[in-house]
Amino acid sequence: QCLLSGSWRSDTGCRMVVFTVGKDGSFSGSYLPGAAVDNSQILSSPLKGSQQDVGLVLQPIFSFTVHWQHRDSDTTQMSVFLGQCYVGTNGEETLHALWLLREASDSPTEDWKATR
């Protein structure tokens, strides 16, 4: 069974901590991108998400949103992550996820460059 609660580290040095997952699958935690090691402007940022019921599937789908915290208060960014938790044959849990980053844009004409 794959459980999201705990501490996770990506291949690129990102660190995610997920607090206890509720009975309804909701969870919260914190996220610090690997780039933050070299960029003191990025702070550990709060995350909120939801996980598929592990009683129904052993390798659940999950999603979460990170509202980025920057020392520069004028910067507004959010990311969404969507993925699945897998349990390997050796019992090791791994997360596979895709993400989108959205920055606030000043106008609809600038919208095209606001999502990565």
| DSSP, residue by residue, the chain | -----EEEE-TTS-EEEE-PPPTTSEEEEEEE-GGGGT-TTBPPEEEEEEE--TTT-SS-EEEEEEE--BSSTT--EEEEEEEEEEE-TTS-EEEEEEEEEEE--SSGGGGGGSB-
CA distance linking residue 7 with residue 114, whole number of Å? 30
Between 68 and 27, name the one with better pLDDT. 27
Give 51's strand partners. 62
Which domains, and CATH codes, for the chain?
A: 6-110 (2.40.128.30)
- Asked if pLDDT for residue 1 goes beyond 80, the answer is no
| 36-90 residue pLDDT tens | 555 566 788 999 999 998 788 889 999 999 998 887 767 788 999 999 999 999 9
Count of Cβ atoms closer than 10 Å to residue 32 Cβ: 19
pLDDT at 38 (0 to 100): 57
CA distance linking residue 112 with residue 50, whole number of Å? 28
- Asked if pLDDT for residue 93 goes beyond 70, the answer is yes
What share of the chain in percent tops pLDDT 90?
49
pLDDT at 67 (0 to 100): 92
How much is the pTM? 0.85
Mean pLDDT of 10-21: 90
